[in-house]
């Protein structure tokens, strides 16, 4: 079975380009702005979109994404609204993969079966759920795979060779390598270390490996993308959104266009790096 994610990564591979994976939080700061931005992302160079499901307690996230979650919740974010965003995006774009990223509780609270039905109906392609390690695969990972969604796992610097096969076992779509030990948007990753980690992961899997956490500038994006199949950027985009809000927390006139200009600069950083000859 070939999903939108599989197709997208296959195309990128054939073109010899690394993937630019962008993250924004759903409903940050409101539904309409989020949708405008979502619709603009593919045109600004985003190959894969990660859409954050807002949560009150984002334990793995740094200040930028924490703040975006708070803004989204203040703006009335719910799981239902997040899925409505995806559906509205899908009406106009049937090719760009959308991966929902977040924490398990809002999904668990909704009910796994109900969530998977709603997510697939809305046009979601994959899930990244930070607080579900392979030890808890029966909770959501296995049912999600059965429902035809990709389940993208995080591999980290603490995931050693012994543990890696377990982490990769039920992973599909791509592998998300967390470039640092830490939270999103914190330390800057060391390109050399990232390159050897990506190589190590690739010895265990044929899936594409995208790298994220801590990439902020087009230059860093360029360096990391050269060492992997893709680069994920979240905090930098979410911070750009924060900079475009007025004192009332509403987007300024023309905010989306200016955020997308910054996204385009990051995209150029990623796309100007040749993907490693993918074996």
Site for other proteins, rule CB under 8 A: 54-60, 62-63, 66, 70, 73, 78-80, 103-110, 130-133, 135-136, 153-160, 163, 167, 178, 181-183, 186-187
Is 61 a known active-site residue? yes
Cite the beta strand spans of the chain per DSSP E.
19-25, 48-52, 98-102, 126-129, 150-151, 154-155, 175-178, 209-212, 230-233
Instruction: Output 59 or 95, the one with its CB closest to other proteins.
Output: 59
Q: Please name the residue that has the structure tokens 């499901």.
A: 53
Please tell me the distance from the alpha carbon of residue 93 to that of residue 247, in angstroms, as a whole number.
33
CB of 207 to other proteins, least distance (A): 16
Tell me how far, at minimum, the Cβ of 196 lies from other proteins, in Å.
18
Residue 230's DSSP bridge partners are 19, 210
Q: Out of 28, 61, 125, 244, pick the active-site residue.
A: 61
Nearest to residue 47, comparing CAs of 253, 275, 218, 231? Answer: 231
Minimum gap (Å) between residue 12 Cβ and other proteins: 25
Min dist CB 166 to other proteins, Å, is 10
Nearer to other proteins, 178 or 225 (CB): 178
- Nearest CB to other proteins, comparing residues 34 and 159: 159
- Least Å from the CB of residue 261 to other proteins: 29
Task: Select 14 or 158, whichever has its Cβ closest to other proteins.
Answer: 158
Is 50 catalytic? The answer is yes
Beta-carbon contacts of 119 under 8 Å, excluding residues fewer than 6 positions away, are 83, 86, 100, 127, 149
128 or 240: whose CB is closer to other proteins? 128
Q: How far is the CB of 77 from other proteins (least distance, A)?
A: 8
- Choice among 28, 30, 50, 229 that is catalytic: 50
Separation between Cα atoms, residue 240 and residue 236, nearest integer Å: 6
Q: Are 13 and 208 in contact (CB under 8 A)?
A: yes
Exposed/middle/buried for 104, CB within 10 Å: 0-12, 13-18, 19+? middle
Q: Select 116 or 132, whichever has its Cβ closest to other proteins.
A: 132
Residue 191 and residue 158 in contact, taking contact as beta carbons nearer than 8 Å: no
Q: Which residues pair with 176 in a beta bridge?
A: 154, 210
Tokens 């609204």 sit on residue: 81
Please tell me the distance from the alpha carbon of residue 80 to that of residue 141, in angstroms, as a whole number. 20
Catalogue the active-site residues: 50, 61
């Amino acid at each position: 079975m070939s999903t939108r994610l599989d197709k997208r990564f296959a195309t990128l591979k054939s073109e010899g380009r690394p993937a630019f994976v962008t993250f924004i939080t759903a409903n940050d700061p409101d539904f309409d702005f989020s949708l405008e931005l979502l619709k603009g992302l593919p045109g600004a160079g985003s190959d894969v979109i990660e859409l954050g499901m807002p949560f009150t307690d984002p334990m793995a996230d740094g200040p930028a994404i924490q703040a975006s979650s708070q803004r989204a919740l203040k703006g009335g974010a719910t799981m239902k609204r997040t899925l409505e965003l995806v559906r509205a995006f899908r009406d106009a774009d049937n090719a760009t993969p959308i991966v929902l990223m977040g924490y398990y509780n809002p999904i668990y609270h909704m009910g796994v079966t109900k969530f998977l039905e709603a997510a697939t109906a809305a046009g979601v392609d994959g899930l990244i759920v930070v607080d579900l390690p392979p030890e808890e695969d029966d909770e959501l990972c296995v049912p999600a795979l059965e429902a035809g969604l990709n389940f993208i796992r995080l591999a980290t610097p603490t995931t050693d060779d012994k543990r890696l096969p377990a982490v990769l076992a039920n992973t599909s779509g791509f592998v998300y390598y967390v470039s640092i030990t830490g939270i999103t948007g914190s330390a800057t990753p060391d390109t050399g270390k990232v390159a050897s980690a990506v190589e190590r992961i690739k010895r265990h899997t044929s899936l594409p490996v995208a790298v994220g956490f801590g990439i902020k500038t087009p230059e860093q994006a360029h360096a990391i993308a050269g060492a992997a199949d893709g680069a994920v950027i979240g905090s930098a985009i979410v911070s750009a959104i924060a900079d475009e809000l007025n004192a009332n927390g509403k987007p300024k006139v023309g905010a989306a266009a200016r955020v997308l200009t910054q996204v385009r600069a990051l995209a150029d950083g990623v796309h100007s790096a040749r993907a490693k000859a993918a074996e």
